[in-house]
Chain A
């Protein structure tokens, strides 16, 4: 059974750097070094393994400004077959719902069996996007998978939990989010890097997806940003009775 797998991938400002906010409180994305979100390499690795086993192709779908091509090239050099990049000035400041609409519309344009995504982005941390995309596509979502397998049109995942994992199965097509507990992503190879440029990348605007200005209008806006409150200075307990006093304090706070 040949599988068409879509991976949702995001270009994020350099994960090692300090992110900066613009005057409108939106993350500065232009003129900042960026990369494929490291969290997106896990679903990509899972997608590559699935198509290597079953046959089929991996399509990377990303929404972002021009520099997002860096992330797409990275995914293609790791082995993805083709990519779709949605770039549109109207999408600047798109919130999670608008982004999900855009991605779902782009995914719907081609046949797909499985959509894989990371659990959350390392810049936004909303963690709601993949489930929203599933809802818009009208397919089930299985989340927090540390393992993804496909058999007879059924996707079987191991959903990571605090104690271990739950086995979750659902029929295809489906959306699955993959954790960093899954198989380590591969390195791009030299051949992969050199072939990436020849692979097809479709570039779309919001208009190409047939989305109306109303559908693109953010439903959220950031009106203020405050620094996280400083942690209050702790109390230093010294002296012979220190142990008892610390124990009393912890008991009072109901932590022991």
Chain B
């Protein structure tokens, strides 16, 4: 691209706000996605499979737990992590979900709340992708309100016994360890549960029409006995799981813009090629309004993501601010996907184009990691001082 031309995919030149390292990291992930995800994703989505073997590839590139330091983690800044999420999700939300769960929901709590022995034991193998993690917070009867979870952790001599059921757990069926949150006497505690522990089982959820290239499972904990070195010593209470969610939500703020970019890019190309009434549909005013609105929200969303990223790197971002980012960027990404779908007409409903896949995926992203409604109410509470959701 000539230096003076406007890039339709980066209208406001947000690119220039990135450092060389950030651009190089983004480029590397973009190339990997182009080589490894895009050629196969339609089949993976259609067959509802996640290729577990890519875990090691992602580990080899350094993408698992990349924003953590030490224990073989790459130690990048938050913006680089965000950019990696964006490029992965431009491929498919399933891949971004995998990396979010591994890095932010499983490695992060061990890194933040684990003992030195736990960190040494689990983090390097997880960073390499040799071990896959899953994060069990949600239950069949406790979704938006996880505090009312039923899973319990009872003291048993020097160890623990866990019982309960977790639902909608990403990576559940392919995981080597599960980070399970349960009610103990003193409050909610986090446990590292090897999935081969007796009493633990996982059942995959089938017939999903969203996030098909990602494994979602039910976890059953039937008197799972664990020694005391499996409890995370550093946290008691909801701030444990909530701090993980804040990390992962940050990645989603960026990731959603990746899915949106892919939809916009596809729709723009299609609109310029598709001829009706003797001229490209991109030449019609209504199409241009759609494209302009999509570009507008894409660029605003990028600026928002980058702003939150810089705040996170300065150590001053608040969870409520990340909620605002997740609320906006997933909502707008979903709108962009739907608008893009309309531009493709009938072609927009097939897997030949990435749009309906992204659109369906984004329905999950809209719901998990705090639903759109809950983030609205978190921002509402921050504005008014009044809590409306309980």
Contacts and interface: CB of A to CB of B under 8 A. Distances in A.
B1 A194 contact: no
Given A190-B63, A194-B76, A33 B24 contact: no
Given A189-B61, A190-B74, A73 B32 contact: no
Interface in B23-64: 24-25, 28, 31-32, 60-63
Contact of B24 (A14, A32, A191, A193): A193
B3 interface: yes
Interface in A10-55: 14, 17-18, 20, 31-33
B2 A20 contact: yes
Nearest to B57: A187
B95 to A, nearest CB: 15
Nearest to A35: B27
Interface string A165-209: 000000000000000000000011111011011000000000000
User: B1, B60, B66, B75: which has the most chain A beta carbons within 10 Å?
Assistant: B1
A149 to B, nearest CB: 24
Given A190-B74, A191-B74, A32 B3 contact: yes
A250 to B, nearest CB: 34
- Main DSSP-derived SS at the A contact region: loop
B20 interface: yes
A55 B28 CA distance: 26
A14 B1 contact: yes
Given A20-B2, A190-B76, A194-B75, A77 B24 contact: yes
A74 interface: yes
User: A70, A77, A187, A196: which has the most chain B beta carbons within 10 Å?
Assistant: A187
B269 to A, nearest CB: 14
Interface string B1-21: 111000000000000000011
Contacts of B24: 73-74, 77, 188, 193, 196
Interface of A: 14, 17-18, 20, 31-33, 70, 73-74, 77, 187-191, 193-194, 196-197
Interface of B: 1-3, 20-21, 24-25, 28, 31-32, 60-63, 66, 74-76, 80
